[in-house]
Amino acid sequence: MHSNQSNPALAVAGLHKKYGDVPVLSNLELSISRGAIHGLVGLNGSGKTTTIECILGLQRFQSGTVSVMGHAPADLHRAKGKVVAIFDTPSLHPNLTVRQNLQLARSLCPTPVRTAQDVEKMLGVSRYSNYKVRQLSLGNKRRTSIAQALLGNPELIVLDEPFNGLDAEGVDDVLRLIQQFNQDHNTSFFLCSHQLPYLEQICSHIAILHKGTIAVSGTIADLLGASRNVALLSTAQLQQAEDLLRTMPDVQVAGVDPDGFLRIQLGNMTSAALNQALVSRQIGVTELHLQRASLAGLFRQISNEVRT
């Protein structure tokens, strides 16, 4: 992928959105470089769908600016097929066949470069081409819906919950196609999903939406690199251990997780040295291990599922 930060695919600044008197998005800032695969994650009700709808001009917002491939949301019709969005609920006519739906979508595409047969093959739905959409499983509806996005040659593809309803083979197909289009065509992707392992596998960048604003945003490597030295401690003397740790300059107590483990951010101290320090103060260590840094762990930390 070739990322271009000076001319972003998507730039959002100071976005505020309310439903009546209830704020949903508050001073939201987001930038997606051209050629990036950018994921957006958040708890249910955090504003993910609202964010996408504001970006695409489907909802009005109170203040802020949005630029999508150089266009304001209200002017996206001028982008002429450069931006394609596929929502969680597939936009397919239930009484038309897969082939008919794709042919209809192709007729509406400003610059089609692939046939319905081409994208059927790419998404593995060729065998269902004569099935009416209402006869399809949710997974095959999802495949057909994503196939619509590949009829043209868009520069930015927005996918809302692209992995919902897919089996393992379907997930692999979608991940492969995202990677292929990104590498071969420098296509930018904006993926909104709660399937954190898949986002961690495919995304170059991640933004975590929490309480209507972007809590953190950056490359996967940078975000996970900041949380690599986290130790989990189980002890019957939890309070004594916490009191001791708070006096030590090389560590920071990050809280207690739902399983009762004390989360400890290690600086230059090794887990062996930490264990020795605890034992020397007669604090019994039941279990102590380093936690593998993951997007799921970072997300839990930010969404306050870890009690601090």
Residue 295 and residue 206: Cα distance in Å, rounded? 9
Q: Tokens 């264990």 sit at which residue?
A: 275
> Which pLDDT score is estimated for 297?
80
Q: How far is C-alpha 162 from the geometric centre of its chain's CA atoms?
A: 10
Task: Give the residue, 255 or 143, on which the prediction is more confident.
Answer: 143
| Strand pairing report for 37-42 and 213-219 | unpaired
DSSP state of 87: -
Residue 147 and residue 159: Cα distance in Å, rounded? 12
DSSP state of 163: T
Domains 10-219 and 229-292 share a fold: no
Residue 230 and residue 109: Cα distance in Å, rounded? 49
Is residue 15 over pLDDT 50? yes
Q: What is the pLDDT of residues 229-282, one digit of tens each?
A: 788 999 999 999 999 999 998 788 888 888 889 988 887 788 888 998 999 999
pTM here is: 0.78
Is residue 14 over pLDDT 70? yes
Is residue 4 over pLDDT 60? no
Q: How much is the average pLDDT of 167-173? A: 91
Q: How far is C-alpha 7 from the geometric centre of its chain's CA atoms?
A: 21
Minimum mean pLDDT range among 23-27, 100-104, 163-167, 222-226: 222-226
Architecture in CATH for domain 10-219: 3-Layer(aba) Sandwich (3.40)
Runs of H (alpha helix) within the chain: 48-55, 98-108, 116-123, 138-149, 168-185, 196-202, 220-225, 238-245, 271-280, 295-302
- Domain borders along the chain are 10-219, 229-292
Residue 109 and residue 149: Cα distance in Å, rounded? 9
Q: Exposed, middle or buried, 12 (CB in 10 Å: 0-12/13-18/19+)?
A: buried
Is the distance from CB of 141 to CB of 90 less than 8 angstroms? yes
Is residue 224 over pLDDT 90? no
The C-alpha R_g of the chain, in whole angstroms, comes to 23
Q: Please name the fold of domain 229-292.
A: Alpha-Beta Plaits (3.30.70)
Q: Retrieve residue 138's tokens.
A: 């949710």
Position 2 confidence tier, pLDDT thresholds 50, 70, 90: low
Residue 133 and residue 130: Cα distance in Å, rounded? 9
Minimum mean pLDDT range among 29-38, 76-85, 91-100, 111-120: 76-85
Residue 135 and residue 48: Cα distance in Å, rounded? 30
Is residue 155 over pLDDT 80? yes
Half-sphere exposure of 298 (CA within 13 A, CB side): 29
Q: How much is the average pLDDT of 8-24? A: 96
Position 305 confidence tier, pLDDT thresholds 50, 70, 90: low
Q: How far is C-alpha 27 from the geometric centre of its chain's CA atoms?
A: 19
